[in-house]
């Protein structure tokens, strides 16, 4: 396998609006990010992904872009962005921008021009389609609820929006539009970006016949994702995009790919794949309800482990997925993947260990490194997110009580991850001197960076050790390129795997006890050295293992152990 500069890196996602506010307007900004680069460097971060910072009406928090060449005023100026790039570079860090090109904002110049001349050149930058029998061209429901077609005023046409109606889909069949997109990407890459995180990309390929499908809900509509699942050919667009843009810059790209077809992994992230990497959403997909958030099931450990292991094995010999436990679209990992009794610092460290040491590229979401959690709200009006408002309504219409619907939001809302970063125990968590755009999680008095920086045994201190271990010169080869081998699969509640490298001759065991009870495991070899423990001093853990000849694990205990000898 050809080695690439990003293989051994650790990435961090910033949600700019909620990261750090430098001027007291309650909105995070570029200057705030610049002020925290040293914090990220110290954590061990190499690559920073910024959720969208372009000019936007913020109907979907910046995922609706009205000018791809401008920085949103709320976040700062292009000069500040250039400064951020330069400051990152000084620290050997890379910046990824979010590339949102399935759709733009309805305020974008292209769409405004299209509306004013619905038969003109710009109308063909979008899907302006004639209705059928005085109705929409098909029965699609958008991802955010309601019809995916909106009338084009003064015509018998409709335009397609797979997300909000303020997010019209761009017509990728049009070569002129594709050229505009590539020029824009190259413009940013030339500034010195490390690459892109690529939003909702599977959706760019449509079946332009827009067939209707049998309804999948009481609204008589069908999720627009059905059409995406049925259509082929997205790969042609993706290859063209790669050749025209990031390939020329050796840029890193990570795709947000849902609904990939079976056996396409190599095409997506193999050596000559469309992208450098793509997020591993297999665990997230476990949490889908049949009809929405209200009937989503809690994550069951056994299924979770099974699906993550299967995903790890699937990518072996193919490429690198990007491992996450949360992002800006998901609830907090600590609130989702940890059982009730493990929702404490030990549990959070355990979850970190099993995620960061997997094969692939770790992506940490802001606040994960201090163990931020979901946030309870008393009323739907306290939420901002467009998807949350829709899902609340879906729950109510399905007959849920207000409390049940709020519970579904508490467990699944995208706003759980979007509350301001908890920097300190000061008012508003030290995020802003003003009034935050979204209210802080009240637990900032206990969970915050400042407090954790002062404590050797905090979640934050542990993340630093964990990342440093992954990148340590002696073990880097094994953690980066070593194979993934599951172990203890027959043992309930144990998340265990070996990383094995022919190159380094090392075998490293990671084992974590997600169960409520302590247990003792047999070892797959002789213990050489405890590299990390989330509960004890490494030397104590090592002495214990030597005396027993076995591996004892408390509830919520995780251990990383170097074994004697190389591959068996």
What is the contact surface with Ca ion in residues (CB under 5 A)?
21, 23, 25, 27, 29
Write the DSSP assignment of 39-86 as a string of letters. HHHHHT--EEEEPP-EE---TTTTSS-SEEEEE-TTT--HHHHHHHHH
Is the separation of the CB atoms in 97 and 51 below 8 Å? Answer: no
Number of helices followed by number of strands (H, E) in the chain: 18, 22
Is the separation of the CB atoms in 544 and 553 below 8 Å? Answer: no
Structure tokens at 532: 């990390």
> Which residue out of 199, 267, 280, 345 is catalytically annotated?
199
Kindly tell me which of 199 and 369 has the beta carbon lying closer to ligand TEU: 199
CA Rg, the chain, in Å?
24
Kindly tell me which of 100 and 342 has the beta carbon lying closer to ligand TEU: 100
At its nearest, how many Å lie between ligand TEU and the CB of residue 410? Answer: 15
Kindly tell me which of 199 and 384 has the beta carbon lying closer to ligand TEU: 199
Kindly tell me which of 21 and 150 has the beta carbon lying closer to Ca ion: 21
Torsion of the alpha carbons at 253, 417, 72 and 241, rounded to the nearest 10: 20
Provide the greatest CA pair distance for the chain: 82
For residue 495, report the phi and psi dihedrals to the nearest 5 degrees.
-105, 105
At its nearest, how many Å lie between Ca ion and the CB of residue 102? Answer: 28
At its nearest, how many Å lie between Ca ion and the CB of residue 47? Answer: 24
Kindly tell me which of 23 and 401 has the beta carbon lying closer to Ca ion: 23
The Cα–Cα gap between 64 and 44 comes to 31
The Cα–Cα gap between 1 and 270 comes to 10
Query: Among candidates 464, 557, 546, 465, which has minimal Cα distance to 510?
Result: 557
The item of ligand TEU, Ca ion, none sharing an interface with residue 143, based on CB under 5 to 8 Å by kind, is ligand TEU
The item of Ca ion, ligand TEU, none sharing an interface with residue 63, based on CB under 5 to 8 Å by kind, is ligand TEU
Kindly tell me which of 168 and 420 has the beta carbon lying closer to ligand TEU: 168
The item of ligand TEU, Ca ion, none sharing an interface with residue 100, based on CB under 5 to 8 Å by kind, is ligand TEU
The item of ligand TEU, Ca ion, none sharing an interface with residue 258, based on CB under 5 to 8 Å by kind, is ligand TEU
Structure tokens at 489: 């699969």
Is the separation of the CB atoms in 95 and 123 below 8 Å? Answer: no
Query: Among candidates 139, 180, 184, 175, which has minimal Cα distance to 160?
Result: 139
Kindly tell me which of 21 and 136 has the beta carbon lying closer to Ca ion: 21
Strands 483-487 and 361-365: unpaired
The Cα–Cα gap between 145 and 163 comes to 8
Residues of this chain that interact with ligand TEU (CB under 6 A) are 60, 63, 100, 143, 163, 199-200, 256, 258, 328-329, 387, 414
For residue 353, report the phi and psi dihedrals to the nearest 5 degrees.
-60, -45
C-alpha 142 chain-centroid distance: 21
Is the separation of the CB atoms in 532 and 465 below 8 Å? Answer: yes
Is the separation of the CB atoms in 28 and 65 below 8 Å? Answer: no
At its nearest, how many Å lie between ligand TEU and the CB of residue 260? Answer: 12
At its nearest, how many Å lie between ligand TEU and the CB of residue 67? Answer: 16
The Cα–Cα gap between 557 and 371 comes to 16
At its nearest, how many Å lie between Ca ion and the CB of residue 370? Answer: 21
Residue positions counted in the chain? 568
The item of Ca ion, ligand TEU, none sharing an interface with residue 40, based on CB under 5 to 8 Å by kind, is none
Which parts of 230-378 are beta strand (E)? Answer: 252-255, 277-279, 320-323, 361-365
The Cα–Cα gap between 509 and 531 comes to 10
The item of ligand TEU, Ca ion, none sharing an interface with residue 320, based on CB under 5 to 8 Å by kind, is none
Kindly tell me which of 329 and 453 has the beta carbon lying closer to ligand TEU: 329
At its nearest, how many Å lie between ligand TEU and the CB of residue 193? Answer: 19
The item of Ca ion, ligand TEU, none sharing an interface with residue 199, based on CB under 5 to 8 Å by kind, is ligand TEU
> Which residue out of 136, 256, 330, 385 is catalytically annotated?
256
The item of Ca ion, ligand TEU, none sharing an interface with residue 200, based on CB under 5 to 8 Å by kind, is ligand TEU
At its nearest, how many Å lie between ligand TEU and the CB of residue 386? Answer: 7
Q: Which residue is nearest to Ca ion (CB)?
A: 29
Q: Which residue is nearest to ligand TEU (CB)?
A: 63
Verify whether residue 199 is a known catalytic residue.
yes
The item of Ca ion, ligand TEU, none sharing an interface with residue 326, based on CB under 5 to 8 Å by kind, is none
Verify whether residue 239 is a known catalytic residue.
no
Kindly tell me which of 63 and 514 has the beta carbon lying closer to ligand TEU: 63
Q: To 10 degrees, what angle do helices 234-244 and 175-190 make?
A: 40
For residue 216, report the phi and psi dihedrals to the nearest 5 degrees.
-120, 15
Residues 6+ apart with CB under 8 A from 317: none
Which positions are annotated as active-site residues?
199, 256
């Amino acid at each position: 396998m050809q080695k690439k500069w990003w293989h051994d890196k650790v990435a961090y996602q910033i949600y700019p609006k909620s990261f750090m506010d430098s001027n007291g307007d309650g909105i995070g900004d570029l200057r705030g990010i610049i002020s925290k680069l040293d914090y990220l460097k110290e954590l061990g971060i190499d690559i920073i992904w910024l959720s969208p910072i372009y000019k936007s009406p913020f109907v979907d928090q910046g995922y609706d872009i009205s000018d791809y060449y401008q920085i949103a005023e709320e976040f700062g100026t292009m000069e500040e962005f250039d400064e951020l790039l330069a400051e990152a570079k000084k620290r050997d860090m890379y910046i990824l921008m979010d590339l949102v090109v399935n759709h733009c904002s309805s305020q974008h110049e292209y769409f405004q021009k299209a509306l004013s001349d619905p038969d003109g050149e710009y109308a063909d930058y979008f899907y302006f389609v004639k209705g059928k029998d005085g109705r929409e061209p098909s029965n699609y429901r958008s991802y955010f609820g309601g019809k995916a077609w909106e009338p084009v005023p003064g015509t018998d046409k409709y335009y397609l929006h797979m997300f909000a109606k303020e997010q019209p889909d761009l017509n990728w069949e049009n070569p002129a539009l594709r050229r505009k997109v590539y020029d824009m990407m190259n413009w940013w890459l030339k500034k010195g970006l490390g690459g892109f995180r690529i939003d909702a990309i599977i959706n760019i390929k449509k079946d332009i016949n827009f067939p209707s499908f049998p309804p999948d809900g009481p609204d008589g509509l069908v999720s627009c994702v059905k059409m995406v699942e049925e259509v082929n050919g997205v790969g042609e667009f993706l290859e063209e995009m790669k050749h025209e843009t990031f390939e020329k810059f050796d840029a890193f790209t990570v795709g947000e790919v849902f609904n990939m077809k079976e056996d396409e992994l190599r095409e997506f992230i193999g050596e000559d794949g469309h992208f450098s990497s793509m997020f591993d959403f297999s665990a997230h997909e476990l949490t889908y309800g049949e009809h929405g958030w209200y009937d989503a099931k809690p994550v069951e450990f056994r299924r979770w482990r099974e699906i993550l292991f299967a995903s790890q094995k699937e990518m072996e010999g193919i490429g690198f997925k990007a491992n996450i436990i949360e992002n800006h679209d998901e609830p907090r990992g600590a609130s989702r993947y940890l059982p009730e009794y493990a929702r404490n610092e030990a549990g959070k460290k355990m979850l970190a260990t099993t995620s960061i040491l997997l094969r692939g590229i770790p992506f940490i979401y802001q606040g994960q490194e201090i163990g931020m959690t979901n946030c309870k709200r008393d009323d739907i009006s306290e939420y901002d997110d467009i998807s949350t408002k829709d899902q609340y309504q879906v729950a109510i219409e399905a007959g849920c009580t207000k409390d049940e619907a709020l519970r579904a939001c508490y467990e699944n809302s995208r706003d759980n991850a979007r509350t301001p970063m908890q920097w300190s125990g000061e008012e508003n968590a030290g995020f802003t001197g003003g009034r935050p755009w979204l209210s802080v999680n009240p637990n900032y008095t206990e969970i915050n960076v400042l407090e954790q920086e002062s404590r050797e045994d905090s979640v934050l201190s542990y993340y630093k050790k964990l990342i440093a271990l992954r990148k340590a010169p002696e073990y880097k080869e094994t953690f980066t390129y070593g194979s993934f081998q599951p172990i203890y699969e027959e043992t309930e509640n144990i998340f265990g795997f070996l990383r094995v490298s022919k190159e380094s001759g090392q075998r490293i065991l990671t084992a974590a006890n997600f169960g409520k009870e302590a247990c003792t495991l047999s070892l797959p070899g002789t213990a050489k050295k405890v590299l990390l423990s989330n509960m004890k001093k490494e030397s104590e853990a090592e002495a214990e293992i030597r005396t027993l000849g076995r591996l004892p694990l408390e509830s919520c205990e995780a251990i990383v152990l170097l074994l004697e000898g190389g591959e068996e």
